[in-house]
């Protein structure tokens, strides 16, 4: 049992500023490179939970996958201020494909939306 851990929010300045009110640690990053650095340092410093804005996540897939195999930290994607890009959905879809061998969930999901 790890007693108390912190939560981090990483993203471009405009998207993550509002999380300051929620009692989490905010890492404003100008570009994907900085965000990658922030992600790695978060993993080192024992944060349990991190949120990354989607607009920076696109180029950080390798880092995300690397962190995906470790039990902590749990990195999740959140939409940036300009709205959802659907990357988080795509990520979930990829996980399903990996486990099941075929995408069975999002097909029915897509059917419902249309």
Partner 1 sequence: MEIRVNATRMQLLRTRKRLRTAVRGHKLLKDKRDELMKKFLDLIRRARSLREEVEKELSLASRDFVLAQMAMSREAVEEALMSSASQADLKVRMVPAMNVRVPEFSWESPSMTAREAYPYGFTTTVSELDRSASILAGIMPKLVELAQVEKACELLADEIEKTRRRVNALEYVLIPRLSETVRYITMKLDEMERGNATRLMKLKDVVRAKGA
Site residues (vs partner 1, CB under 8 A):
1-7, 14-15, 17-26, 48-51, 68-69, 71-72, 74-76, 78-79, 81, 83-84, 88-89, 91-92, 95-96, 98-101, 105, 109
Q: How far is the CB of 37 from partner 1 (least distance, A)?
A: 21
Place of tokens 């959905």: 89
Whichever of 17 and 34 has its CB closer to partner 1, that residue is: 17
Whichever of 41 and 65 has its CB closer to partner 1, that residue is: 65
Q: How far is the CB of 95 from partner 1 (least distance, A)?
A: 5
Residues contacting residue 103 through CB under 8 Å, at least 6 positions apart: 93, 96, 97
Closest CA to 63 of 35, 95, 89: 35
Cβ atoms of residues 81 and 14 within 8 Å: yes
């Amino acid at each position: 049992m790890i007693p108390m851990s912190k939560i981090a929010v990483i993203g471009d300045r405009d998207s993550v500023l509002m999380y300051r009110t929620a009692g989490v640690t905010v890492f404003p990053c100008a570009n994907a490179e900085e965000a990658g650095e922030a992600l790695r340092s978060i993993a080192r410093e024992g944060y349990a939970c991190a949120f990354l804005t989607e607009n920076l996540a696109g180029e950080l897939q390798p880092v995300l996958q690397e962190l995906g195999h470790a039990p902590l930290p749990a990195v999740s994607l959140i939409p940036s201020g300009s709205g959802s890009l659907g990357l988080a959905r795509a990520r979930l879809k990829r996980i399903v494909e990996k486990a099941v061998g075929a995408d069975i969930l999002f097909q029915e999901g897509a059917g419902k939306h249309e």
